[in-house]
Every structure is written in structure tokens, then in C-alpha cells.
Amino acid sequence: MNDKKHIVIIGAGTAGVMLANKFAKTSDVMVTVVDPAEFHYYQPGFLLYPFNRHSFDEIHKRTSTLLHEHVYLLQQHVTDIAPSKKTIVTEDGTEISYDVLIIATGTQIDPLLTDGLMNEQWHISIFDFYTPDGAEAVRGALQAFEGGRLVVQITEMPIKCPVAPLEFVFLADDYFKKKGVREQVELLFVTPLSGAFTKPVASEKLGHLLTEKNIQVVTDFYTEKVDGPNKTVYCYDGRSFDYDMLVTIPTNVGTKLLQKQDFTDDLGFVEVDPHTLQSSKYPDIFAIGDSTNVATSKAGSVAHFEAHVVQENVLAYLYNQPLTGFFDGHSNCFVETGGGKSLLLDFNYDTQPYEGTFPFAGIGPMKLLRPSRINHLGKLAFRYIYWYLLLPGRPIPFIPNKMSLKGKKVV
């Protein structure tokens, strides 16, 4: 008789694969991952692929090849979750019971939530880059674009990888300079926030980068509707802007499966304790990564820092122990600024990004809140770290799960 505890993970994205591989090394649990996707994508590659920085083969692998041999992968859609029965149901009617359920379904864009955004101009003059098809379409559009107004626009927050739209406009500036048409291109960055960066201190210290690159910033713009035929976007306060090419980040929502559950918020994100990542309603449900409602970035680094906490707390729950794993909201991210440089942000629930060095005090070698070549090289190297350290559930040397103040200029 098999008396192992059964952990079911819905989702084989960054968080799901990483966590499954961590649990696979625990002898007294069995792990099932449920996800219909044949391929797993390195999603930061969707930003760089349109600018010819990656090939498509470099940013995707078969999901089945990424999971530990002791993890069972069921490639089906989940159609229902029944917390009262501690079961999930798949599309073929199979009912799977669990001792603990972990939601790792991420977030997805929904253009239909903005009036007029999904129109006949979708992937013709209106583009996204958060999906494989979107990245492919915008790549072709950039190659053909010889001049006019290109607008990068965030519909509303929260979004996956909050700095990615800003990176896109920086990379576009660099791309058109190399193409020799930058003087013919007007670049706009449109955001519902009061500054270009999600963190006010970053906007204050780094806003000059947009000015220097002649990128116009439109803030506090809450999108009401899009007029595709006339290439115009309207704000609720009456403002509007025209475009020749619109790169939009539509509203991000949880999966349709989660939008109908009683343990999620209005956007379909799982409501959890922000430190233990345990469901606020069902103690045998946990969530990780972009699928949660925690007040930090929806980014791969967050999933990485959360994984140890979820693993520790799930095992504690299974064996009736106190939940001692504590997530502090730690997030860090590289921001491509063009010209072969990137800057680095590091923060958590309680802090704004600080200046300083990372990961070693005084030595670095990476600089915080300052563009540098070595930061850029770090961002490029992360693709290898992702495939060979992060997804297999191995620790990344010198990068603590909780944010460290070492090397930071705390003010």
C-alpha cells in the first residue's frame, strides 16, 4: 500500500516545474503536475526575440524533458477544482485526489477586457509580446517599420514582468538606431502609473533615461477603449493618442479555471497569506508565482524566491507542523536599457529599490539602479541559469531567497 502524501500541481510554467522538481527529491511524497502544454517557454525570451536577440529554439523546450523522473506529468486541461472533496477533474473526466493542491497557473493576457482592443488590426497594427504568436508577429512588424509613431502601452496593472514594457521601448530605441531610422520614429511609453517605473524611487532616479533617449512618457493613462480602424486609444479622462504601431500589454488575469473559484479575487488570482502563500480560504491549497494576489511583481524571480517557502510550508502542513516558511516579497530584475547595458532592481514588500552592489557588498559585480555592461551580460546569462539551475530546483549560488541589505545604500 502506498502511504505517500500526494501533491498535485496545476501548471507547468516556471513556478510549477521548479517546485515539482524540488518536491521530487523528497522521498515520502508523490508529485503530479497537470498541464496540457507540450512546450515550456522561457518567457523573458518573448521580449528579446522580436529584436533578434534569441532564436525561437533557444526559448522553448518540451515540458516532459524538464521534469524529474519521479514527477508524473498529466498533459490535460483541468476543468474543475472541488476543494470540499480535495479533488480536481481533468478534461477526460478523470478525478484526481490530493493531500495538497498547489496552483501554479500563472497569468495570461485578455485583450477582450478592453473595448475595441481585439479588432481586425490585431497582429497587423496592434501587437502583444507576451505570447509566442505575439512575439513572432511583432518581430515581423518591427522589421518592416520604417517610420511613424510606435506606442508601447500598459492597459492596467498588475502585469507579468512589470518592467518588460519599459524594456521594450528601450530596445526599440536601440533597434531603430541600428537600423538607421530612429529619426523617423516617434516613441511613446503610455502607463496608468504616475511614473515610468512601478517603484517611485526608480522613476525618480531613472526617469532621465527616457528623456535622454527622446522617449515621450504619458502617465496616469487609464485606457477606456481602442478605435482600431482610426488607430486611436482613449483614456477615461478624455485624453487620447494616435499610433501607427501599437504594442500593448492587455489586462492580465488568472486562468478561466481560477476565475470561477471561490478562493480567488476578481481577476482570478489566488488569495493567499502574503508570507506563507497558503490559501486564505482552504489550508490544503497553496499558490506560487504569477497566480497569487501578493503585492509584489509577477516575475520569475519572485517564483524562484517563493519556491523554498512553499516547499517548506507544504511539508509542514502535511505533517501537522507550524508553517514557518516566510516570504518577504523579494523580487529582483534586470532592465534592458539599450546600448548593451542593463540596470538591476532588488526590493521586497517593505523596501523600494536601493542603490548599491549585488550580490556582494562593495564588490558587486553588478550595480543596482545603474545601467552597466555587466548587468546586461548577467541578463543574457540568466537564460542558461534558468534552464540548468532554476527549473531543476537547484539553488542559485550567492542569491538568497530573502532580500539582503548587504551592499545596499539604505537611506
| Grid coordinates given for 407 | 551592499
CA distance to 43, 258, 379, per residue, from 108 (Å): 12, 12, 23
Q: What is the rounded distance in angstroms from the CA atom of residue 139 to the CA atom of residue 129?
A: 9
Q: What is the rounded distance in angstroms from the CA atom of residue 334 to the CA atom of residue 77?
A: 33
| Grid coordinates given for 146 | 520604417
Domain boundaries, the chain: 5-107+254-318, 110-251, 331-409
| Amino acid at the residue 87 | T
Q: Which residue has the cell 533617449?
A: 213
| Amino acid at the residue 400 | P
CA-based nearest residue to 272, from 195, 329, 214: 329
Q: What is the rounded distance in angstroms from the CA atom of residue 181 to the CA atom of residue 139?
A: 16
| Residues 93/76, Cβ–Cβ less than 8 Å | no
Q: What is the rounded distance in angstroms from the CA atom of residue 304 to the CA atom of residue 385?
A: 12
- The residues with which 154 forms a beta bridge, in sequence order, are 249
Q: Rounded to 5 degrees, what are φ and ψ at 216?
A: -75, 140
Per residue in 205-231, pLDDT tens? 777 889 999 999 999 999 999 999 999
Per-residue pLDDT of the chain (411 residues; tens, 9 = 90+): 468 999 999 999 999 999 999 999 887 999 999 999 999 999 999 999 999 988 999 999 999 999 999 999 999 999 999 999 999 999 999 999 999 999 999 999 999 999 999 999 999 999 999 999 999 999 999 999 999 999 999 999 999 999 999 999 999 999 999 999 999 999 999 999 998 887 777 777 777 889 999 999 999 999 999 999 999 999 999 999 999 999 999 999 999 999 999 999 999 999 999 999 999 999 999 999 999 999 999 999 999 999 999 999 999 999 999 999 999 999 999 999 989 999 999 999 999 898 999 999 988 899 999 999 999 999 999 999 999 999 999 989 889 899 999 889 887
Using DSSP bridges, classify how beta strands 185-190 and 215-218 pair: parallel, antiparallel or unpaired.
parallel
CA-based nearest residue to 64, from 32, 39, 90, 30: 39
CA-based nearest residue to 391, from 34, 40, 36: 40
What's the DSSP call for residue 228? Answer: T
CATH class of the domain at 5-107+254-318: alpha beta
Same fold, 5-107+254-318 and 110-251: yes
The structural architecture, per CATH, of the domain 110-251 is 3-Layer(bba) Sandwich (3.50)
| Residues 299/386, Cβ–Cβ less than 8 Å | no
Per residue in 290-300, pLDDT tens? 999 999 999 99
